[in-house]
């Protein structure tokens, strides 16, 4: 099995697990109808990714599989996304401080983001 196909199967499998988890969570929070709608929507996305994967360079780039150019595009897009999310998260932390309502979820997310970033720096520095 080629690396591209293995990556696609892994991603589609992950989407199916996310669809089941989404259905379960919506089922608990909003009832069976909303659970089935949310799970069905996520499953449709998983199937679309699986069908379109081999035909679309953009989808391959999203997954980071394909040739070196696709992987580089994916890496840069993920880095840009991380930077934007870091700024948004920091803005939310400042807002909660200003409102004097510390939000433990946002602070926990910021701590997780910092630990993952620092760990990634150390890991990739050793790889280089």
Label residue 102 by pLDDT band (50, 70, 90): confident
* Strand boundaries in 1-128, DSSP class E: none
Give the tens place of pLDDT for each residue, 5-49: 555 566 677 888 989 999 999 999 999 999 999 999 988 988 887
Nearest alpha carbon to residue 113 among 94, 93, 127: 93
pTM of the model: 0.53
d(CA 81, CA 85): 6
Token reading at 57? 């360079």
CB atoms within 10 A of CB 46: 19
Residue 1 has a pLDDT of 44
53-57, Cβ contacts within 8 angstroms, sequence gap of 24 or more = 53/8, 53/11, 53/12, 54/4, 54/8
């Amino acid at each position: 099995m080629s690396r591209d196909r293995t990556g696609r199967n892994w991603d589609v499998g992950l989407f199916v697990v996310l669809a089941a988890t989404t259905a379960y969570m919506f089922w608990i929070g909003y009832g069976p109808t909303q659970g089935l709608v949310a799970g069905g929507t996520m499953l449709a996305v998983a199937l679309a990714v699986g069908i379109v994967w081999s035909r679309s360079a953009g989808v391959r780039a999203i997954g980071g599989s394909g040739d070196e150019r696709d992987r580089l595009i994916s890496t840069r897009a993920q880095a840009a996304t991380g930077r934007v999310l870091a700024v948004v998260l920091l803005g939310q932390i400042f807002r909660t401080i200003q409102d004097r309502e510390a939000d433990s979820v946002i602070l926990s997310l910021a701590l997780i983001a910092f630990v993952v970033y620092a760990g990634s720096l150390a890991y990739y520095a050793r790889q280089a």
